[in-house]
Structure 1
Amino acid sequence: MTQQPFSRPGAIDLSALKRPAQQPSAAPAGAPAGSGGGGAGTASAYAVSVDEQSFQAVVEASMTAPVALVFHSPSRSPESTQMAEDVATVAGEHEGRFLAGLVDVEAVPQIAQAMQIPQVPLMLVLVDGRPATQPIPGPASLDELRALFNQLAQQLTAQGITGRHQPRAAAGGAETGEADEVDPRYAAAQDALGEGDIDRAVAEYQKLVDANPADAEAAAGLAMAKVLQRTQDVDVNAARQAAAASPDDVEAQTLVADLDMLGGHVDDAFGRLIELVRRSSGDDRNAAREHLIGLFAAVGNDDPRVVKGRQALASALF
């Protein structure tokens, strides 16, 4: 499953969506996924079933934070509906960084036609009302989706896109009230990122980590903010040329690894530093190892790429 980098093409053209006479909808506008009949079901507070009436609102929700539209067909492609449910699960795990919009193409074929969806399963990530990636085909496993969304989240952070959706439903499907708020602990750091003040974001995340070293989200945010800090105003071409000319220069190699991270090339970043650890020694080896561990933290210890990377690092060290 290949993840495409974020881009900002034109806004979605909704003119192809005609308004037929009222028909039973897949789910009420803004209802939690699974509230309609026969579609993908989930207890995620960050997933909605999409029909013609709610489609515009779901697209507009991407002005706040990204929306992952997943097109599926329960009878024609059961695996596509499983993928839709898994996307809803992963969106819930990111606690508002994404909203999953589940589109049953049997119940609402007009949306699939308007969006020119060639197959199911297929996922489209929207930011600011626009497709932010190329269409992402499936099927994909839950682990693959987790890795993909981790990568998307990193790229969003790198671009200063730090908004979060409000939960649409509590676990079990009950609607939440206005009192339900996204955890405010990260607001100062995320506001700083949104304003482009990377140094302040690093300082805010550092406060959270100092107060609670077990806060994995704060640790990941700090690690990624430091990547942004290290790569501010870097000439990418010059950095890559310097790394190619000096393969054993730790500073040059770690900088390009950071650039790979920002570009979503996580495996390349890990591989570059693992090989540097393998062929270096002394202080250079320790510096490369510590930098790599920092990149592991930015991705998250549960990510399959980090698990694989840690195994490769152990092999390189011993």
Structure 2
Amino acid sequence: MQPRNMSMSGVVDLAAVKAAQEAKAKAEQARAQAAQEGGGGAVSPADLVIDVDEAGFENDVLQRSTEVPVVIDFWAEWCEPCKQLSPLLDRLAVEYNGRFVLARVDVDANQMLMQQFGIQGIPAVFAVVAGQALPLFQGAAGEAQIRQTLDQLIQVAEERFGLTGLAVDPDAGPGAVQEAPEAPAGPHDAALEAAVRALDAGDLGGAVRAYQNVLNDDPANMEAKLGLAQAELLQRVEGMDPQRVRREAADNPADVSAQIAAADLDLVGGHVEDAFGRLIDTVRRTFGDDRNAVRVRLLELFEVVGAEDPRVTAARRALARALF
């Protein structure tokens, strides 16, 4: 899924962030209601492991991922390692008690999904969080490694997207999916909607102002932070000649402005590691005000991608090594 009116594949989906924030409010209300009713209305443990095909992928995985992280196990009957991994994932899905849902995909029956995820071999395990696909691991993995990966996934899903998981009732029958109450309207919904409309209309200046208005009143608002960072980035690349910018960056590796402009284009094109690597290399080659200008732009791009993204974590470490 990509942001509306943006070409930033692999960065952040603002619509998914908003959906996730609404899902968090629904999940919190559902958990409270389930506790008051002794677990009534929650999902059954049997609903934590599902078989998914191409026809049901959007509802069973993409839509569900706005409520809870969905871990996808790509397997096949003839795959011997799958016969070890799949039962382990089934057991962990129940043990984690609603912190994630496991979706099993038989690759022989769902070749299109295998191609869409770019899978070259199985077993392969992905996650979808708020509509965004993340590779977890491929091939055999030990239980300790899988637990660590799942814990990190759950932490990122909660901290970045507000996904608190599903309430589970061990006495509920299969298919007893809870009716989630409507999320309460937020105090800044109108301003955020105005920002989205401005983005849809190509009014980047209007979107920047709208997001800034929200942040003036609520500096911690995640959707406004992400929206402002992306709108400002799109403003910067608007009107650029990509070929000229890349040629100047290639011909002038010491030109800070040229490297910064090329990094912005890299990120807009979804080449996150290339953008980060370009600026970190420039930090190594520069000093004083030039180095600080590159560092500041790199921190701004970190904000676009999101602090918990593993690509940002790795780039922060690389930046620290370059600076010190």
* Superposition CA RMSD, Å: 4.9
- Given candidates 258, 261, 269, the residue that maps to 2:267 is 261
Is there any run of 5+ residues in structure 1 with no aligned partner, and where?
Answer: 7-31, 41-48, 91-99, 154-163
Matched, 1:77 2:77: no
Distance 1:68 1:172, change over 3 A: closer
Give distance in 2, aligned partners of 1:258 and 1:287. Answer: 14
Give distance in 2, aligned partners of 1:229 and 1:264. Answer: 16
* Amino acid in structure 2 at the alignment position of 1:265: H
1:314 paired residue number: 320
* Amino acid in structure 1 at the alignment position of 2:56: F
* Amino acid in structure 2 at the alignment position of 1:70: I
Matched, 1:189 2:198: no
TM-score in terms of structure 1 length:
0.57
Shift of 1:270: 1.6
1:27 paired residue number: none
Give the secondary-structure state (helix, strand or coil) at the position aligned to 2:72: strand
Cα shift readout 1:207-249 (whole Å, capped 9, x = no counterpart):
2222232334422321122111111232222211011111122
1:237 paired residue number: 243
Shift of 1:303: 2.6
Count of equivalent residues: 246
Shift of 1:202: 1.7
* Amino acid in structure 1 at the alignment position of 2:182: A
Give distance in 2, aligned partners of 1:234 and 1:35. Answer: 53
Aligned residues: percent identity?
34
**Would the aligned equivalents of 1:80 and 1:138 in 2 still touch at CA under 8 Å?**
no
Give distance in 1, aligned partners of 2:84 and 2:43. Answer: 18
Give distance in 2, aligned partners of 1:273 and 1:124. Answer: 29
Distance 1:314 1:104, change over 3 A: closer
TM-score in terms of structure 2 length:
0.56
Distance 1:198 1:300, change over 3 A: same
Shift of 1:52: 7.1
1:37 paired residue number: 46
Matched, 1:305 2:311: yes
1:85-104 to structure 2, matched below 5 A, reads 103-104=103-104
1:108-123 to structure 2, matched below 5 A, reads 113-115=109-111, 117=114, 119-121=122-124, 123=126
Shift of 1:281: 2.4
Does 1 or 2 have the higher relative contact order (CA < 8 Å, sep 6+)?
2
Matched, 1:282 2:296: no
Give distance in 2, aligned partners of 1:218 and 1:206. Answer: 7
Give the secondary-structure state (helix, strand or coil) at the position aligned to 2:244: helix
Shift of 1:113: 1.1
Give distance in 2, aligned partners of 1:143 and 1:178. Answer: 28
Distance 1:171 1:305, change over 3 A: same
Give the secondary-structure state (helix, strand or coil) at the position aligned to 1:193: helix
Give the secondary-structure state (helix, strand or coil) at the position aligned to 1:113: coil
Is there any run of 5+ residues in structure 2 with no aligned partner, and where?
Answer: 1-8, 11-40, 76-81, 115-120, 140-145, 170-176
* Amino acid in structure 1 at the alignment position of 2:259: Q
Distance 1:243 1:220, change over 3 A: same
1:199-278 to structure 2, matched below 5 A, reads 199-278=205-284
Give distance in 2, aligned partners of 1:302 and 1:262. Answer: 19
